[in-house]
Amino acid sequence: MPAIKSSTHLPRPAVVICFSGLDPTGGAGISADIEAITAQGAHCCPLISCHTVQNSSDVQHVQQADPQLLTRQATTLLDDIKPDAFKIGALGCAETVKVVANIVRQHPGIPVVLDPVISAGGGGKLSREGLIEAIIDELLPLTSVCTPNTLEALKLGQHPTDETLSVADILQRGCHAVLLTGSHRDTKDVHHQLYQSNGTTNHYRYPRLAAEYHGSGCTLASCLAALLAQSHNVTDACQLALDYCRDCLSAAYSLGEGQQFPNRKLLPTGSNQND
């Protein structure tokens, strides 16, 4: 049989390749990515970095993906489909970080959004020893936008008590921009900041929502990757992704005993009838 050639006449959505964990609740990880990316009109190619055992309250166990299988899946995929962005979520251990970095390094010039997941919202660990050091050494130099919350930023920088200096450390590692999310701070409103390596800083403020959510960081980072994949600039993409995330959280639903689930089944910001 002759090889099937794709038709040049068909529309091609922007492609985001995601390296993320599987969360069987569907709230976080790869299913969050697929939903948020689809909602932006882009296509998600899912690569599973780890499997988790968890419910809506917390993570109980993490099992790493087989590195050889992950490499083979990614290589086969990338030999065929050209990505417009990469999104990197929970990787779990240093070995998986190295596998992902090796793959991404072979595709320079493509936006990379890194959500440096270290633990779950419920406090359960999503990291083994050496993960943070591997992210700093291997992934930050490849990253277009890193999306840490304040706790993650303090771990990635060399200044464990100073957020601003930690962000400077992250940028120093070669990452182009840091979208520092502020929901973990004890403040009335939530204040997010975008720091870019060209020295600009943007501030985004939102009223604080009362609940706790499962997969809010995944929603933000994957939406951002889908927007960068569609050629939005970083400043606009961060604003749009934060607005989308706020909309998803405002419309959240509850399925289990623990955190609420972002409702990502929304049209992009500005398209909802009640906007």
Which residues of this chain interact with ligand PLP, rule CB under 6 A? 20-21, 23, 28-29, 52, 54, 59, 89-90, 117, 120-121, 126, 214-218
In angstroms, what is the minimal distance from the CB of 214 to ligand PLP?
5
Return d(Cα 50, Cα 66) in angstroms, integer.
9
Residues 242/220, Cβ–Cβ less than 8 Å? yes
31 to each of 47, 107, 218, 221, how far by Cα in Å?
11, 24, 9, 13
* Residue closer to ligand PLP (CB basis): 179 or 218: 218
In angstroms, what is the minimal distance from the CB of 138 to ligand PLP?
19
* Residue closer to ligand PLP (CB basis): 119 or 165: 119
Return d(Cα 50, Cα 65) in angstroms, integer.
5
Of 35, 68, 84, 73, residue with least CA distance to 261: 35
In angstroms, what is the minimal distance from the CB of 29 to ligand PLP?
3
Q: Which residue has the tokens 């609940």?
A: 211
* Residue closer to ligand PLP (CB basis): 23 or 163: 23
* Residue closer to ligand PLP (CB basis): 66 or 275: 66
In angstroms, what is the minimal distance from the CB of 261 to ligand PLP?
10
* Residue closer to ligand PLP (CB basis): 64 or 165: 64
Q: How many CA atoms lie within 13 A of 262 on its CB side?
A: 29
In angstroms, what is the minimal distance from the CB of 259 to ligand PLP?
8
* Residue closer to ligand PLP (CB basis): 89 or 111: 89
56 to each of 25, 43, 107, 135, 230, how far by Cα in Å?
7, 26, 36, 27, 32
Q: Are strands 43-54 and 59-64 parallel, antiparallel or unpaired?
A: antiparallel
In angstroms, what is the minimal distance from the CB of 219 to ligand PLP?
7
Comparing every residue's Cβ against ligand PLP, the nearest one is 21
In angstroms, what is the minimal distance from the CB of 222 to ligand PLP?
10
Return d(Cα 111, Cα 144) in angstroms, integer.
6
* Residue closer to ligand PLP (CB basis): 53 or 81: 53
Residues 134/67, Cβ–Cβ less than 8 Å? no
